[in-house]
Amino acid sequence: MPERTEADSSDQEAGSFEMTLQFSAGTGQSANRELSLLRPFWRRIGQNREVGRLSFVFLESGGHLHTLGALCETHGGQLLFFPGLSGRRPRWQIGSATEAELNPAPGVTLDHLSLEPDMSRWHVRFLSKQRVKASATRNGSVQSRFPTMRKGDLVYWCALQVPGFDHFEEIPKHVKVTVAGPTREISHISRSTATALHTTSCHGVSLPGTSPDWNSCHIAVALVLTLAEKPEASMPQLSEFASTAFAPCHRNPRAKIPARLETTVVRRFIRVPSMDAWLVIAASILPGPVEASILSTYPQRVEERDKTA
């Protein structure tokens, strides 16, 4: 479980505190404020919004441990996913498209994906280097909102395809950043940040295999929600559903998806109380080299203005 300490400044006009996260399974130290595990807190610090309920998710295979990302259930009922992708400029594959369609400007990176409370659609939040909201274009027009796909009790959100573990953030053993702000606000920010960290849960997903050859395979992760009271009851549907979720991950049409996906897909269940649902993280190692990408199965455009998440 991450921990936090604070040290307020004595300055009357400006205050600060130190936020510290420690992970026993991590290595080294970091002061990177843009780690996926820290980005949810900048909603509180930079946008004056409560952090919400946090979950940190990690991937493990063959003794290697990396960050899949951070999940944030907001007070407004949205579910945010802050991917732990290195570089944060993945290729985007929308529907059956074979080429990148979302094109952020130079210097603009992915911050998070946001699932709406009714689970009918999701949108992407891009930020500039100054953490200012930015947009991306699709075929020349601004586009960052997409529908989900529902089948029975399952709601397909999105999927990631990643060439290997080195494309995910490494988990540091010790993270320490200094947060500054007006004295009248910093004390409240410090307390709410401490509360969010205290209630944060950590989840691990152990992938099959030991030391795969990343020149001939890749990691595929699908984010799916189930409305079933007991998530295991929806799993017979997941095998068929996973073929839809993972199908876009294969750029090479000769790279076959295993006939029995249910034997190769690792699942982790995380409760989402505000949606009265379970988030299912389905992960597997599949054949074929790929580029780091985020995928949506629906090609339809949703003509709505992006909302602030």
Asked if residue 7 is part of any domain, the answer here is: no
Evaluate the CA torsion angle 250, 256, 258, 264 in order and state its sign. Answer: negative
Structure confidence at residue 240 (pLDDT)? 64
143's tokens? 């586009």
Check residue 130 and give its pLDDT.
65
At 292, is the secondary structure helix, strand, or coil?
Answer: coil
The predicted pLDDT at position 272 comes to 96
Say if 279 falls within a structural domain.
yes
Distance CA 135, CA 306 (A): 9
Q: Which residues of the chain have pLDDT under 70?
A: 1-14, 44-48, 94-103, 129-144, 181-182, 184, 209-212, 239-264, 297-309
pLDDT of residue 302: 36
pTM comes to: 0.82
d(CA 306, CA 216): 38
- Residue ranges with strand state E in 153-246: 154-162, 169-170, 174-182, 201-206, 217-226
Inside any domain, residue 280 = yes
| 26-49 pLDDT tens trace | 888 888 888 999 888 877 665 667
Calculate the CA 29 to chain-centre distance.
Answer: 22
What pLDDT is attached to residue 8?
39
Hey, what's the torsion of the CAs at 124, 128, 130, 133, to 10 degrees?
A: -40
Could you count the other beta carbons within 10 Å of the beta carbon of residue 63?
7
pLDDT score recorded for residue 101: 55
Q: Which domain holds residue 190?
A: 14-296
- Domain-embedded: residue 1: no
**Residue 192, helix vs strand vs coil:** helix
pLDDT of residue 279: 95
pLDDT of residue 150: 86
Tell me whether residue 178 is in a domain: yes
Residue with tokens 């690792």: 266
Tally of domains within the chain: 1
- The answer to whether residue 308 sits within a structural domain is no
Is 304 domain-assigned? no
SS3 of 232-243? HHHHHHHHHHHH
Asked whether residue 40 is domain-assigned, the answer is yes
Q: How far is CA 24 from CA 3, 32, 178, 290, in A?
A: 11, 18, 21, 32
Spell out the residues 6+ positions from residue 18 whose beta carbon is closer than 8 angstroms to its own.
Answer: 5, 6, 7, 176, 177, 178, 179
